[in-house]
Amino acid sequence: MNRVPEGFPEDFLWGGAVAANQLEGAYTEDGKGLCVSDINEFHDDIALDKKYNEEITSTYINEALKNEGRIFPKRWGIDFYHTYKQDLKLLAELGLKTFRTSINWARIYPNADEKEPNEAGLKFYDSLIDEIIKNGMEPMITISHYEMPLHLTTAYKGWYSRETIDFFVRYCKTLFDRYKGKVKYWIIVNQINLIIHESFNHLGIAEDVVDDLVSAKYQGVHNEMVACGLATKYARQVDSNYHIGMMLCGGPAYAATCKPEDVFATVRRNQMEYFFSDVLLRGYYPGYAFRYFEDNNINVKFGEGDEEALKNTADFMSFSYYYTRICDAQSVKQKQTAYRNPQLPANPWGWTIDPIGLRTFLNLFYDRYQCPIYITENGIGYYDKLEPDGSIHDLYRIEFFKTHIEQMKEAIKDGVDLRGYYTWAPIDIVSCSSSEMSKRYGFIYVDIDDYGKGSGKRYLKDSYEWMKKVIKSNGDDLSI
């Protein structure tokens, strides 16, 4: 009889996760092309809980390219392109066992449709990956993390066009060939279920270039999942040691009430969140998806060979966890799908804090897929105050991580095969959803403001020493 685990596995991967577009900067350096995130604009006159990336039109793209008096913070990030050696050293001293970052597609294929990659871009990632390994950290690489070359949007309608499948597979092959023996863990697409809040950043489909945006989104995700299958098949041919993962954002919602109508509406809503992982981990479209498409007049076309490509399933599941939501029959009917739980505390941006929800998701995902799981993003944004002596007292962040790590430990005792945990983000970076620096996540403070001003100097927050202790004890010492 197997005994209940008492703590984290000895080889548990304690890590940190970032995205190239949110920290590298140098947005036109060494031959890089523009990517979709380079036109994410910062606005200082919008309510905090309304700050998120919306749909984008071709007119907006053209206006953004004029760059007249507008603020695009992801173009400068935290200048990681030039400071990565110093930053990785600080992260290694934190004790991280692994570091997740993305490769900016537009650095490798500036327009996506080139026949040959940009060697200068590859050389940067050669050096970056070598430095990660040199600092004793296992690299986990995300291939697509909101960094689609902008040219794919303006010339091909992003993932809606089947041409993008071939462009993306070529890009993947370049990386799999180049980093054989150096990178073991890969996530092909970040948060593949985000087709609402990160619709344009994810799929690159301008809303005014298609007749039916909802159908276009699902067609885009279909094309993307086919590309994932083809890329996974190739990866296994290159290196049998590659571990290929898929990634969701969050997970199922809670039913707002115990009314049968609300419970079943929540089931239906959650099925279409599972849809993406069901396809990528099981290898085929589930029946509920066809019913959803029929009920909502959504048209998804399969190409020849698509069903066979989808059979190349991922090796592990990963997901980001920030908050939970609730829903009911009326909200699903009105396409709101899910909303904030008023019973839970939240940060200034309205992101609720629900540590038990993390344990819930871990159990639900593992029950469904019975495969290794990695939490590839978990964190919370807060305003941090830099004191005159250079200290940052962020007890709120320590308490957040303490309660979530406690629930991870409980999930492992439940039998969940949890292999790794990546905090988002271990160093302050530009926010994905609101393109601001003041929404800070890191254990390391970066002295840059929302307008790109500041010394750029790095400071260690109180949470840095606390997390260092947690990792050193392999999660046993969570005392504050």
Residue 380 belongs to a domain? yes
pLDDT band at 218 (very low <50, low <70, confident <90, very high): very high
304 is catalytic: no
Strands (E), 125-177: 138-144
Taking residues 209-235, report their average pLDDT. Answer: 96
Residue 331 belongs to a domain? no
Taking residues 219-239, report their average pLDDT. Answer: 98
| φ, ψ at 318 (rounded to 5°) | -140, 160
What per-residue confidence (pLDDT) applies to 393?
98
Taking residues 28-57, report their average pLDDT. Answer: 82
119-134 vs 80-94: helix axis angle to the nearest 10? Answer: 20
CA end-to-end span of the chain: 36
pTM of the model: 0.95
What per-residue confidence (pLDDT) applies to 196?
76
pLDDT tens readout for residues 169-205: 999 999 999 999 999 999 999 999 998 776 789 999 9
Give whole-number Cα distances, 458 to 23, 319, 442, in Å: 13, 29, 11
- pLDDT exceeds cutoff 90 at 3: no
Q: Do residues 67 and 98 lie in contact, with contact meaning Cβ atoms separated by under 8 Å?
A: no
pLDDT band at 5 (very low <50, low <70, confident <90, very high): confident
d(CA 409, CA 473): 13
The tokens for 117 are: 């990659």
Residue 330 belongs to a domain? no
- pLDDT exceeds cutoff 80 at 16: yes
What CATH number should be reported for the domain holding residue 236? Answer: 3.20.20.80
Q: DSSP for 333-385, please give it.
A: HTT---B--TTS-B-TT--B--HHHHHHHHHHHHHHH-S-EEEEEE---B---
| Residue 63, burial from CB neighbour count under 10 angstroms (0-12, 13-18, 19+) | middle
pLDDT tens readout for residues 101-111: 999 999 999 99
Reduced to 3 states (helix: H, G, I; strand: E, B; else coil), residue 327 is: strand
| Residue 396, burial from CB neighbour count under 10 angstroms (0-12, 13-18, 19+) | middle
Instruction: Flag the least confident range among 58-72, 159-173, 414-428.
Output: 58-72
Taking residues 353-380, report their average pLDDT. Answer: 97
Q: Classify strands 13-17 and 316-321 as parallel, antiparallel or unpaired.
A: unpaired
Residue 269 belongs to a domain? no
Segments forming the whole domain that contains residue 90: 13-253+276-323+352-472
Cis bond leading into 425, ω under 30°? yes
What per-residue confidence (pLDDT) applies to 470?
98
Residue 2 belongs to a domain? no
- pLDDT exceeds cutoff 80 at 52: no
| Residue 461, burial from CB neighbour count under 10 angstroms (0-12, 13-18, 19+) | buried
Residue 22 belongs to a domain? yes
- pLDDT exceeds cutoff 80 at 405: yes
What per-residue confidence (pLDDT) applies to 48?
59
Residue 407 belongs to a domain? yes
Q: Do residues 19 and 142 lie in contact, with contact meaning Cβ atoms separated by under 8 Å?
A: yes
The tokens for 396 are: 């709120």
Q: Do residues 33 and 80 lie in contact, with contact meaning Cβ atoms separated by under 8 Å?
A: no
Taking residues 433-453, report their average pLDDT. Answer: 95
The tokens for 425 are: 């983000």
pLDDT band at 57 (very low <50, low <70, confident <90, very high): confident
Name residue, tokens 């009326």.
Answer: 330
- pLDDT exceeds cutoff 90 at 221: yes
Q: Classify strands 373-378 and 316-321 as parallel, antiparallel or unpaired.
A: parallel
Number of domains in the chain: 1
Residue 263 belongs to a domain? no
Instruction: Give the dihedral of Cα atoms 62, 66, 70, 73; nearest 10 deg.
Output: 80
What per-residue confidence (pLDDT) applies to 58?
87
What per-residue confidence (pLDDT) applies to 285?
98
Q: Do residues 265 and 327 lie in contact, with contact meaning Cβ atoms separated by under 8 Å?
A: yes
What per-residue confidence (pLDDT) applies to 156?
95
Give whole-number Cα distances, 129 to 60, 141, 292, in Å: 35, 9, 42
pLDDT tens readout for residues 283-337: 999 999 999 999 999 999 999 999 999 999 999 999 999 999 999 999 888 776 7
Give whole-number Cα distances, 434 to 22, 126, 430, 454, in Å: 11, 30, 8, 19
d(CA 198, CA 291): 25
d(CA 340, CA 256): 10
pLDDT band at 479 (very low <50, low <70, confident <90, very high): very high
Closest CA to 415 of 367, 376, 369: 367
What per-residue confidence (pLDDT) applies to 4?
79
Closest CA to 20 of 171, 164, 180, 129: 129
- Amino acid letter, residue 159: W
- Which among 24, 224, 377, 436 is annotated as catalytic? 377
pLDDT band at 338 (very low <50, low <70, confident <90, very high): confident
Please give the mean pLDDT across all residues of the chain: 94
For residue 160, the cross-strand partners are none
Closest CA to 102 of 172, 54, 55, 196: 172
% of the chain with per-residue pLDDT over 90? 87
pLDDT band at 46 (very low <50, low <70, confident <90, very high): low
